[in-house]
Amino acid sequence: MVSQKRDAAIVGIYEYPKRKAPGVTALQIKAECAARALEDAGLSWGDVDGLYDAQDGAGSAGLGLAEYFGFKPNVIDTTQVGGSSYEFHAAHARRDIAAGKCKVALLTYGSTAHSDARRIGTGGGGGGGYSPGSSSPLSNMTDPWGMTLISNYGMVASRHMYQYGTTSEQLAHISVATRAHAMRNPEAVQAMKDLEFVGINEITVQDVLSSRMVADPLHLLECCMVSDGGGAVVIASPEVARNCKKKPVWIIGSGEATRYSENGSDITISAAAQSGPPAFGEAGITPAEIDIAMIYDSFTITVLVMLEDLGFCKKGEGGAFVGGERLHYKSPLKPVLNTDGGGLSSNHPGMRGIFLLLEAARQLRGESTSQVEGAKLAVAHGNGGMLATSHTGGTIILARD
């Protein structure tokens, strides 16, 4: 039984088409995406009265961003929780709109991670290997150990394998499905060309297992790309949404959580175990009803853990759940996974959360390059931070009319 609450809807979307964008800045990407998402909605620049930002434009968070854009918003929310920021923003925008604080909320993202040659995954920096800037208790306890971002997720995968008998073969199915979807998405294909992927084609489980081990037990083809990119989402009140160009995609449930390793904790359980149930509860639906699962695929293990924690299968049974072609967009079984090609094969400039909302909205509008016929319900689950140490989870449930 789908909740009848219709507080706010996604009415405008835009994904920056390039994944390699030398010579532009994150702020320029954000502004261009804002203009095009407003155009998609049939709204004007001056309509924006709520600004949500993850502080990704240089020097321009709450204080500078409105001025750069030229907005005078009534709501400014600069929640920064890494890759899950945009799910948090969508939840907050809906709440603020329902409270009458604003009518047209704008979420933007811009990043030049690829052109900056930022070593997100394997360098000392950014991945819990070394924290530049001022010291903190966490950085002091983490920095000496050379824990790269990928090895952080590798520790979750190792433990999941130990505890539940999960295999690399099973995890590989996640890469196989997302690549199949990416090959149907011209922007993803161009991305793989621009980022000089070795083989731009559909892949097999064996291809994944044969790719180089980066941090045991994660292989290269289980790791997301590092791209440039960005996007924008416009969320509006029901009154505004009724007059927009495109059909509204309603936000009907949300949940937010954080989780961290502590004495005796189980690192195979993510924040999704806390953020999922209130989101589904508020929406009045069960995971079994979801058509489209847009799950943050920084690595294969991220998806596996979150499918379990969101309740698509029991804890520990994710390996068997993702087998075969179950996650493929043509699968007779629900839900299908990351139909845009995901962070693994389409777009990952560092904080992928906004793309989860974008592709979920495309599916519910009927605009995906791997369209699921009659898709009615989608979940977007973003993950921020690092899975084995501390991270955040934001769950958004979306419905079409």
Partner 1 sequence: MAGRPLPRFPEPDTQAFWDATKEHKLTYQVCAKGHIVFFARAHCPTCGSREMTVKESKGEGTVYSYSVVRLNRHPAFAALGPYAVAYVDLDEGFRVLTNLAGLADPVNEAKIGARVKVRWEDQEGGLSLPMFAPA
Summarize as ranges the residues that interact with partner 1 (CB under 8 A).
Answer: 119, 122-125, 129-130, 135-148, 150-159, 162, 212-218, 261-265, 267, 388-389
Identify which of residues 125 and 277 has a Cβ nearer to partner 1 in the complex.
125
229 CB-side CA count, 13 A: 27
Q: Which two tokens stand for residue 164?
A: 């539940």
378 vs 374: CA distance, rounded Å: 12
CA atoms of 94 and 89, how far apart (whole Å): 8
Residue among 48 and 157 whose Cβ is closer to partner 1 = 157
- 49 backbone dihedrals φ, ψ, rounded to 5°: -125, 10
> Which residue's CB is nearer to partner 1, number 32 or number 143?
143
Nearer to partner 1 by C-beta: 262 or 373? 262
Rg (CA), the chain: 19
Instruction: Give me the least distance between CB of 293 and partner 1, in Å please.
Output: 26
CA 30, distance to chain mean position in Å, is 17
Which residue lies nearer to partner 1 by CB, 99 or 213?
213
HSE (side-chain half, CA atoms, 13 Å) at 97: 31
For residue 203, the minimal CB distance to partner 1 (Å) is 20
* CB-side neighbour CA atoms (13 Å) of 169: 4
Provide, rounded to whole angstroms, the least separation between the CB of residue 174 and partner 1. 18
Strands, E assignment, 272-340? 292-295, 336-337
**Cβ proximity to partner 1, 121 vs 384, nearer residue:** 121
Shortest spacing between CB 253 and partner 1, in angstroms:
30
Q: Give the helix/strand (H/E) hosting 163.
A: helix 149-164
Q: In what order do the strands lie in the sheet with 50-52?
A: 75-77, 50-52, 104-111, 229-236, 9-15, 249-260, 390-400, 377-385, 292-295, 336-337
In whole angstroms, the minimum distance from the beta carbon of 322 to partner 1 comes to 21
| Pairwise CA distance, residues 227 & 355, whole Å | 13
CB atoms near residue 258 (< 10 Å): 15
CA 199 to chain centre: 24
3-state secondary structure at position 185: coil
Angstrom distance (rounded) from CA 324 to CA 327: 8
Instruction: State which residue, 120 or 322, has the beta carbon closest to partner 1.
Output: 120
Min dist. Cβ of residue 367 to partner 1 (A): 38
Residue 164 CB, shortest distance to partner 1, in Å, is 12
Least separation in angstroms between CB 165 and partner 1: 13
Closest to partner 1 by CB, 58 vs 138, is 138
The beta strands (E) that lie in 132-225 are given as 213-215, 218-219
Residue placing its CB nearer to partner 1 in the complex, 218 or 295: 218
Give the shortest CB-11-to-partner 1 separation in angstroms.
42
